[in-house]
A = this chain, B = another copy of it.
Amino acid sequence: MTLLDKDNLEIALARGKAEHLAFGELCYTRLTDEIGGVPKGSVVLADGSVIPGYPSIARIQALDPGLKKQFEGPFWAEEKMDGFNIRIFFQGGRVYALSRGGFVCPFSTDRMLDLLDPAIFTNHPELILCAELVGPDNPYLEGHSPQVQEDIDLFIFDMMRRDREGFLPQQHRMDLLEEFELPRAEIFSRFQPSDREAISELIRRLDEDGKEGLVFKPEDGGQRAKYVTARSNTYDFSVTSEGLLDQPPEYFTNRLLRMGLFMAEHGQRQDHDRMSELGHALMQGLFRSIDASRDHNRVGSRFRCRFNRRENAYRFIQHIEQTGGERVKVYDDMPRQEGDYWLLEFERIHQRMTGFLNQALQGGRQFD
């Protein structure tokens, strides 16, 4: 069974819905759009095999009656981690990691053997591990789940097979995670749609711990749903308000809505500390950006990450310069050797925030 035949791919390439790319010896084709049911972000390797894109997961905003409405049978609740999504595969004796968009990620690929024993691919070369890379030393995201306080770590939460739609069944995935002692996102319990109270307790505990939320996965492989904590929104604000204008404004309004719905459902309407936290998260980021504008005439976020191979750091720099343009500033002496690693530090410039604040703080006039 193949998901995508050669003709379809040729047409997609001709229409600009796919592009040829290479990473070292690996030649691959990235789908920049959905083609014949194969999702955007999928990758076709030189041998024609397809690594499917990771699908979007819909969100519910009320456990009651969301659980009963969305699920008819048992489902598993697993932790949703705050990091970035990768798909790990094995080809020509090497392990590669794809970003959500379908690029081989030089950073994740470089660090993969630090985080994962590839033995599973010896027995199951067709397997694709879907995982979250989490931690402060990552080159994409400002926030991260509280579980990882330094460098990065890997949390596998799904498995797929080449040329196949859908995920490995829950039990099969859990067996493989066990057998190969793989790092995983926490799998809490199997629930029924009527277990609202137990799930409420679980999500309130995650909320207290500053964790992001849950993904509910039906045992029969049906449609999943995610549900996030109130605090995940405050946390997002605390790391993104610095670049307030560089996010779509709906980023903020959608999270405010989610937070309000969560607090209302979980009896937190009188939780004044939490509302205070919200106000602080929004304003303190702005104060930092005002200082940055005053001190450096620019607002940006600093990133750091480490590579085993210098070559991969250069590949990564090339990648962000091609995709990020003037929004990325790699510091002068980078990459720099640090112990066994090559350290890369760079800044993502919040261009709209930089422009707005420079103008405002210089006393400019603005029409709304």
Report A306-323 CB contacts with B as 1/0, cut-off 8 Å.
000000000000000000
Instruction: Chain B residues near A61: list those with CB within 8 A.
Output: 360-361, 364, 366
A127 at the interface (CB under 8 A from B): no
Complex: A55 Cα to B272 Cα, angstroms: 42
A349 at the interface (CB under 8 A from B): no
Q: Please name the residue on chain B nearest to A253 by beta carbon.
A: B249
Q: What total of chain A residues lie within 8 Å of the partner, measured CB to CB?
A: 57
* Protomer copies: 2
Let me know if A365 and B225 touch, CB within 8 A.
Answer: yes
Complex: A259 Cα to B225 Cα, angstroms: 36
Contact of A272 among B225, B280, B286 (CB under 8 A): B280
The A interface, classified by DSSP as helix, strand, loop or mixed, is helix
Contact of A253 among B69, B245, B287 (CB under 8 A): B245
Complex: A279 Cα to B269 Cα, angstroms: 12
Count chain B CB atoms within 10 A of each CB in A56, A274, A279, A367 and give the residue with the most: A279
Q: Please name the residue on chain B nearest to A256 by beta carbon.
A: B282
Q: Please name the residue on chain B nearest to A248 by beta carbon.
A: B249
Contact of A68 among B274, B276, B363, B366 (CB under 8 A): B363
Let me know if A260 and B245 touch, CB within 8 A.
Answer: no
A11 at the interface (CB under 8 A from B): no
| A-B CB contact pairs (8 Å), 5 listed | A59-B365, A248-B249, A249-B253, A256-B282, A278-B282
| Interface residues in chain A, defined as those with a beta carbon under 8 Å from any beta carbon in chain B | 56, 58-62, 64-70, 223, 225, 241, 244-245, 248-250, 252-254, 256-257, 259-261, 263-264, 269, 272, 274-280, 282-284, 286-287, 289-290, 356, 360-368
Sorted nearest first, the 6 A-B pairs with minimum C-beta distance are: A260-B286, A66-B363, A249-B249, A279-B279, A278-B279, A69-B363
